[in-house]
Amino acid sequence: MIKVNLLATNPGAAPAREWLPREQRSALVGIALLVVTAAGIGGAWWYLQRQRTTLEAEIASAETELVRLKDAAKLVERATARKTELAERLSLIERLRAAKRGPVNLLETISRSLPDGLWLTDMKQNGAVVQFEGRATSLTSITDFAELMQNSGLFKRPVEILTTSNDVIEERAVVKFAIRAESEKPVEPALGLAPATPAPAKTGTAPGAPGV
């Protein structure tokens, strides 16, 4: 059975006209790819340039901040050095003040500790050690003096009675003594105090004198 297409174009009709010739399609596709590639490269270049500008601005800002911090660090260093210098000066002033006050406290303590019937004839100092020599009308005055000295808080315990011996002054019997005391802190020699010399060997002890 034979089928005939009655809707077909008439024999000899011209073919439909194409908008873009087949042979030009490949060239157009290639051009489009080139345009897209160029646009991508241009966009990437613009982005990188923008990033570069931003980074350069950040680097410049960081360098400015670094210079400012260096200047601030120098100021802090100078301030720290100045503070250290002032602290050392204050410490020196306090040491000098304490050194000047030390002999005054020493003499005041000794003066307050002198009981009736006792007087000192010599005082020698070597650093923190002070040695006293004197006379007393009784052994009780000597022990009272030693006790007052060690209770004053200026001297370490014990305040030692080194020697006691009988003596006569203007036909009056007295007790000659030597006492050694060590202060809590070394002080500058008080006015009139000579450096201490080793204590002499004990002489004859007066009857009833306390042991050392």
**Does 140 map to a domain?**
yes
pLDDT at position 101: 66
Neighbours of 152 (CB within 10 A): 18
**Does 16 map to a domain?**
no
Q: Which domain holds residue 171?
A: 27-212
Rounded Cα gap, residues 208 and 199, in angstroms: 21
Contact present, 175 and 167 (Cβ < 8 Å) = yes
**Does 43 map to a domain?**
yes
Transcribe the chain into DSSP letters. Answer: -----TTSPPTTPPPPPPSS-HHHHHHHHHHHHHHHHHHHHHHHHHHHHHHHHHHHHHHHHHHHHHHHHHHHHHHHHHHHHHHHHHHHHHHHHHHHHHHHHHHHHHHHHHHHH--TTEEEEEEEEETTEEEEEEEESSHHHHHHHHHHHHHSSSBPSPPEEEEEEEEEETTEEEEEEEEEEEBSS--PPPTTPBPP-PPPPP-PPPTTPPP-
pLDDT at position 142: 92
Tens place of pLDDT for every residue, the chain, 212 residues?
A: 555 555 555 555 555 556 666 666 677 777 888 888 888 888 888 889 888 888 988 898 888 888 888 888 888 888 888 888 888 888 877 777 766 666 777 888 888 889 989 999 998 888 888 899 999 999 999 999 999 988 888 888 888 999 999 988 888 899 999 999 988 765 555 444 444 444 443 333 333 333 33
Looking up residue 95, the CATH number of its domain turns out to be: 3.30.1360.100
Rounded Cα gap, residues 210 and 208, in angstroms: 6
**Does 13 map to a domain?**
no
**Does 183 map to a domain?**
yes
Number of domains comprising the chain: 1
**Does 84 map to a domain?**
yes
Rounded Cα gap, residues 51 and 46, in angstroms: 9
**Does 20 map to a domain?**
no
pLDDT at position 200: 41
pLDDT at position 204: 38
**Does 3 map to a domain?**
no
